[in-house]
Amino acid sequence: MPSEFVNHYTKILNLGRHNSASSSSSSSSSSQAGQISVVNHEKKIALHDLLFSIENTELNTGTIGGFINQLNELEESELRTTAQRDTEQAALEEAVVSKLTVALYRDALDLYLSQATQVEAAAEWWAEIENSTFGVLWYFLQTLPLRLYNVATTIARALHAQRLPLTLSNLSPRTLRTLFPSPSSATFRPHQLTVAFFPYLRAQESLTLAMLLPAVAPLTVQTRTRFGKRIVEYASLTMRFINLPLELTRQECRHNRLALEKIRDKRANVLGKLASLRPNLASISTIGSTSATKGLARRQEYTNFLQTLIGVISPGSSSSSITSDTPLTPLLTLTHYLPSHVNKHEYDMQNPVSLVPPSRLVQIWPQLVLLPPLAFYLLTTGAKENWVPRLLDVLKDGKETIRGFVSGWLIEPLMDVLKTVRGGRDEGVIVSQEGVAANLESLERMSISLARDRLNYTQEQLAQLAAQVKLGDLTPIMEVYEEDMKRPLVSAVKGELIRGVLLQVQKAKVDIDQALSGIDRLLKSQELTFAFVGVAPAFGVVYLSFNILGRLWTGGRGRGRWGGKQRRKAVWEGMRRIERLLIRSPSTPAARPSNAPADPDVAIAASPSSETGPGIGEGIAPVSLLAPLPTGLLILSLTRIRSYALQYLPNKIREPFLEDLGDLEDPSLGREDKLLVVQRMWRCWGSGGEGVLKL
């Protein structure tokens, strides 16, 4: 299954010549219908069926080989007849050859891209292990059983070669020294058992003392005596020997990483050359680009392209030795080269040492071996020390705490908020309206009674006084109280002063109730605000708790905005690598039309490639294209970024982002143009834009 990059990159090539073949057949068959022989008619039907099968079949090297054999049989049958080939037949054959050529080109691109991506991922894995001391130690522990097995196998083979039985006496150090003599001090080659323990040393022609005794942090012990200096030197030497297995393991990771990077560069170099062939194939298969070209000349163009493709995929084979007037021979050759390259790639990954990361079982066997005994030990000791019931009590307390928090701080406050939104409470928060009305009516009755007894008010005056009391005006009552205060003893003996004092107390109660009613109305107007303020801390605690649990569950990577911070960081690193490649990579001079369209697909479809087009002259602007290796490495980074964009970016920004990636993938754009595209991407998608490339 071709990758997303390959599908996008070869999309323009899928505009085959079937439409043109159909149009040409409709025009020629009407004028030459009476002249077409039965043989040609049958072959056209066979070509139509073959073209239909190609368009409705998932093409790979196996199915392409079958279609090539069918086309070859049709050509052999034509050679046995004397019928002449007409325009429609030539167009159909050209459409079949075009689709098979594009399919093989797409398979070659996908094959080298998948291999380079696989190798690069493995190299990054080794680099991550190499840069971490704990990673090196853990990798050494993971591969320790395999290393011991290799040593045991080496000893068993040596005993079998010497016809010695596998006994404990033959495993003594003296016997092992006899079986495996130390190499000469002049060559300083690694010992056979050392090579069995560290297989990468098999590729080392010789070892140096710095390799065997890696540098470690020097001991910062100051002493003035000669004896003290000797002790420090011996201690430092001992530390180096103790650290020797880890250092050799680190060098193994480095060796594997460097070897994988060499393989990646080879695949990327071929990938860059394959990418640069797209303009040639597009210029050949473009509809109507060479309408005056004869059929034989068109077939020769496909043959030349296929021979060039063979030379790129298999540089060791001479493409000039594959001479043929028909493109079927190089097509068949490619169907054999691509599967053989898969086998060669697998051989390169395993020889002279395995460069692939260890299997999943090798990586997790320490957990599988250590975790069950550790869990059993904890359970048995917990049963003895009675900490399991205490742990269960703690879990129960935690459960009750969570339940109380949810019920008392989330559900009940939210229900209060809903009640407030629906209409709130009619009763007061501090005082009730009935209590305030009762105190006011009591004050009114007391005032009327005092005015009737002391001031001899009529009914109209009493009604007017009642209205004044409701408004808070007690002037007549206060005048009576003032007169009583002039004769306090007499008024006290008569009881009139006490009556006035009690009336003043009732007046104070009414004033206090009215003040509290005002406060109550103020609180009621802000009741919804207070409800949300009460529930906000609980929501903050819940948000923080779920955020922390989410980070723990996903290992800190997260799936936040646009794939999370870690994935955006990977895209940022990819863009930085692309810009670094464009700045540091060498370029090759080429030319393109100065009035070329801005769209890369339109540009390729409208003009031939720089290799087959006109020279630099009038109307031609010189450009500096990237070399094959930087182009291949650029495609690797762009493939990863394209996969990220298709998976995580929203629709509103995905299309313009993919258009920028398409500009970087366009082989007709030079290095300076691609640097401008990178600057545009930093500006539009970086910190000042949408934030896709923001850490």
Mean pLDDT of the chain: 77
Do 173 and 317 lie in one domain? The reply is: no
Do both 313 and 374 map to the same domain? Answer: no
pLDDT at residue 289, rounded to an integer: 44
Question: What is d(CA 73, CA 58) in angstroms, rounded to the nearest whole number?
Answer: 22
For residues 231 and 282, state if they share a domain.
no
pLDDT value at position 480? Answer: 79
Domain annotation covers residue 219: yes
Tokens 């000039």 belong to which residue?
320
Residues 342, 378 within the same domain: no
Cβ neighbourhood burial of 52 (10 Å; 0-12, 13-18, 19+): exposed
- pLDDT tens-digit series, residues 336-354: 888 888 999 999 998 888 8
Task: Over range 490-504, report the average pLDDT.
Answer: 76
Do 122 and 228 sit in the same domain of this protein? no
Task: Specify which of 24-38, 113-127, 566-580, 606-620 reaches the highest per-range mean pLDDT.
Answer: 113-127
pLDDT of residue 294: 57
Does 20 fall in a domain?
no
**Is a pLDDT exceeding 80 seen at residue 463?**
yes
Work out the widest C-alpha separation in the chain, in whole angstroms.
154
Shared domain check, 174 and 194: yes
- Look at residue 631 and tell me if it is in a domain: yes
Report if residue 486 sits inside a domain.
yes
Burial state string for 635-652 with b = 16 or more CB within 10 A and e = fewer than 16:
bbbbbbbbebbeebbeee
**377 and 332 in a common domain:** no
Q: How do residues 279-306 score in pLDDT, each as one tens digit?
A: 888 888 765 444 444 567 778 888 889 9
Instruction: Read off φ and ψ for residue 626, nearest 5 degrees.
Output: -75, 150
Are 270 and 162 members of one domain? no
Q: Is the pLDDT higher at 525 or at 15? A: 525
Determine the Cα–Cα distance for residues 467 and 647; give it in Å rounded to an integer: 79
Q: Is the pLDDT of residue 632 over 80?
A: yes
pLDDT of residue 262: 94
With bands split at pLDDT 50, 70 and 90, how would you rate the model's confidence at 440? confident
- Average pLDDT (610-630) is 55
Could you report the per-residue pLDDT of 91-148, keeping only the tens digit for each?
Answer: 888 888 888 889 999 999 999 999 999 999 999 999 999 999 999 999 999 999 999 9
Q: Is residue 117 part of a domain?
A: yes
- Percent pLDDT > 70 in the chain is 77
Domain presence at residue 302? yes
Segment 186-211 shows an average pLDDT of 70
Q: List b or e across 460-493, with b for residues whose CB sees 16 or more CB atoms inside 10 angstroms.
A: eebeebeebbeeeebebbeebbeebeeeeeebee
How high is the pLDDT of residue 591? 44
Give 590's strand partners: 623
Q: 579 and 688: one domain?
A: yes
pLDDT at 183: 66
Grade residue 610 by pLDDT with cuts at 50, 70 and 90: very low
468 lies in which domain range? 433-553
Least confident of 1-5, 165-169, 215-219, 324-328: 215-219
**What is residue 620's predicted lDDT score, i.e. its pLDDT?**
41
Any domain includes 274: yes
Q: How many domains does the chain have?
A: 5
pLDDT of residue 260: 95
For residue 223, give Cα distances in angstroms to 216, 226, 234. 20, 8, 14
pLDDT at position 551 over 50: yes
Tell me what the mean pLDDT of segment 59-87 comes to: 72
Which tokens go with 49?
């069926």
Cα-Cα-Cα-Cα torsion 223, 226, 230, 232, nearest 10 degrees, comes to 0
pLDDT tens track for 394-414: 889 989 998 888 888 888 888
Q: Which strand (E) or helix (H) includes residue 284?
A: helix 278-285
pLDDT of amino acid 424: 53
Alpha helices for 585-627 (secondary structure H)? 600-606
Residue 356 confidence (pLDDT): 92
Residue 18 falls inside a structural domain: no
Please check the confidence at residue 577 and state whether its pLDDT lies above 80. Answer: yes
